[in-house]
Amino acid sequence: MKDTKTSASPGHEDESPETQAEMTDLPHGVDIELYRADVPLWKRIWQHSLTQMILLSIQAFCGPAMSDAITGLGGGGLATPQVSNISTAIRYAMLAVVCFLGGPIVNKIGVKWALVIGSMSFPIQGSAYYCNSKFGNQWYLILSGAISGIGTACWYVAEAGAIMTLAPSGARGKYLALWIVSRNLGQLVGGAINLAKNNQKGADGGISPDTYVAFVIIECLALPFALLIIPFERVVRSDGTKIVTAETLSTKQELRRIAKTVTSRLIMLSSLWALWSFFYSGSWSTYLGVYFSVRARALSSLISPFFCIIGCFALGFILDMKQLSQRRRAQIGMYTVVILNVGVYIWSIIMQVKFDRHDPGHIDWDDKLYAKSFLPYFFVQTTGPLSQSYMYWLLSSFATDAQENVRNGAAFRCIEAVGQAIAYGMNTQTTSDPIIGFGVTFGLLGAALIPMIMLVNTTPDKIPADVVAEEQNAASEKLPIESA
């Protein structure tokens, strides 16, 4: 069959090796042996799906992870968490608005340029916290919430589409674990910076202003890595498959797809899960800011990512188990995430009830109370990301092409951002009593469970995009035989 294919292409002897390789490719796959022989090593590495995922993960390290590290200081590391909560609430409100339109925006300008726009907005948050801490400039901190919310929304939508699209079907769990771990490694580095700058016993109030300078420097590094991202159609996965993409739609058609996406069964059934998935961050960040000393908060941002790294890769292996059907993996993954979160929520509520009876003041790391009061925060930094990693794996199980992944990711991010905006807005009014946030978060999980069970029980045995690719490849394989 290969000979028939080659002889049917006379007159192309002068084509470049790359062009020849592309001409003998299947519509949604490549001839791996020919590809390796004709395409330079540097280009194969650059086009590899894992390389693109690593580039995306580095950006997550430099941007969202640094933002998480600042949040992990408790109230953004400021002396009082209220202004930080207001800024963060505004940020997520803008994220929700832009994410709602994110599918058409990203599908029009492309994933790469959406990532570039987003990476340019990352340093704004760190610089605003520095100005507030150094000069007491609160208006810039609040304005930065709106500006960074718009830019980061573009990046988030592109990221969501990419993380659900890049991986081969048998490695989606591990790819998503790599993404989650990169965000937590960023928090790990941020935590090391925090602890190095804020380790004096008895220190109270806000984090040292110099801490934010290091964050700004790292946030600036995302841009060059965003420029190295390539379009989906040029990516080659490790199993030789290429990404299924649809024809470019007009702006009017894309806007129509928004209504179709947000009212789809997939998004409707997962919407409460999306609202809940990041809701925890506002309440547990406030908990840390209210009850822990500066150096204890700095230590928390260093050690809290460790268990998440183990947990996310463990979940990734479960979700990629070839011995089980995709639906069975989806069911096991969901119940694992739910059970772990329920345990953490019960523990957190018990601790908060005790604190309401006897105010512990600012707990330091050498206090007897530190371990059992800090561990709920430590574990929620694992169970929370597990819920997001799982949900993106599940969404990608229903997609028919890359553009649909972008639209589904945008809708999920939009609802997710609404949840975060509500959580931080709520905590501006309940800064002295996080138990309200704990209770609401627990209630949202309970409300999300029944719709999610309904959705998970309809998970297809194979990803629709893979089925489409296989059918098109099979049809193209038959063509030379029929013409002969």
Asked whether the beta carbons of 56 and 97 are under 8 A apart, the reply is no
Interatomic CA distance for residues 457 and 180, integer angstroms: 25
Q: Does the pLDDT of residue 271 top 90, yes or no? A: yes
> 337 lies in a domain?
yes
3-state secondary structure 423-459: HHHHHHHCCCCCHHHHHHHHHHHHHHHHHHHHHHCCC
Asked, for residue 256, whether it belongs to a domain, the answer is: no
pLDDT for the residue numbered 408: 87
Please list, in sequence order, all residues whose beta carbon lies within 8 angstroms of the beta carbon of residue 425, skipping any fewer than 6 positions away: 85, 86, 89
Give the pLDDT confidence score for residue 7 in this predicted structure.
Answer: 37
The position carrying tokens 């309970």 is 446
What's residue 72's pLDDT? Answer: 60
Side chain identity, residue 167: A
**Farthest-apart Cα atoms in the chain, separation:** 85
- Is 472 a member of any domain? no
Q: Where are the alpha helices (DSSP H) in 233-325?
A: 251-262, 265-277, 280-291, 294-303, 305-319
Of 66, 72, 69, residue with least CA distance to 377: 72
Per-residue pLDDT at 21: 40
60 or 25, which is more confident? 60
Lowest mean pLDDT among 105-114, 251-260, 262-271, 464-473: 464-473
pLDDT of res. 76: 54
Assign 23 a pLDDT band (cuts: 50, 70, 90): very low
User: Contact, 330 vs 458, CB < 8 A?
Assistant: no
How is residue 78 annotated by DSSP?
-
Q: CB-based contacts of 79: which residues, under 8 Å, 6+ apart?
A: 205, 206
Residue 78 predicted with pLDDT over 70: no
H or E segment and range at residue 383: helix 370-396
Predicted local distance difference test score (pLDDT) of residue 483 = 40
d(C-alpha 66, C-alpha 186), whole Å: 6
The answer to whether the beta carbons of residues 53 and 183 sit under 8 Å apart is no
Residue ranges making up the domain that contains 283: 43-237+272-462
Q: Are the CB atoms for 82 and 431 separated by under 8 Å?
A: yes
Q: Which residue has the higher pLDDT, 244 or 318?
A: 318
Q: In the chain, how many domains are there?
A: 1
The DSSP string of 156-200 is: HHHHHHHHHHSS-GGGHHHHHHHHHHHHHHHHHHHHHHHHHHS--
Mean pLDDT, the chain, whole residue set: 80
Judge contact between 187 and 67, C-beta under 8 A: no
Question: Does residue 255 belong to any structural domain of this protein?
Answer: no
| Residue 428: per-residue pLDDT | 67
**Domain presence at residue 360:** yes
Which residue is it, tokens 């081969």? 168
In a domain, 168, yes or no: yes
Query: How far is it, in rounded angstroms, from Cα 219 to Cα 59?
Result: 9
Token couple for 130: 């520095």
- What are the Cα distances from residue 330, in Å, to 64, 111, 308, 397, 458? 27, 27, 20, 9, 10
Q: What is the CATH number of the domain that holds 411?
A: 1.20.1250.20
Q: Is residue 401 part of a domain?
A: yes
How many C-beta atoms surround the C-beta of residue 409 within 10 A? 30
Comparing CA positions, the residue from 226, 230, 262 lying closest to residue 245 is 230
Q: 151 in a domain, yes or no?
A: yes
Q: What pLDDT, in 10s, does the model give residues 81-131? A: 577 778 878 888 888 888 888 778 888 888 899 999 999 999 998 888 888
Asked whether the beta carbons of 465 and 400 are under 8 A apart, the reply is: yes
pTM for the structure as a whole: 0.75
Q: How far apart are CA 89 and CA 430, in angstroms?
A: 14
- Statement: residue 339 has pLDDT above 90: yes
- What pLDDT is attached to residue 11? 39
Yes or no: say if 337 and 387 are a contact pair by the CB < 8 Å rule.
Answer: yes
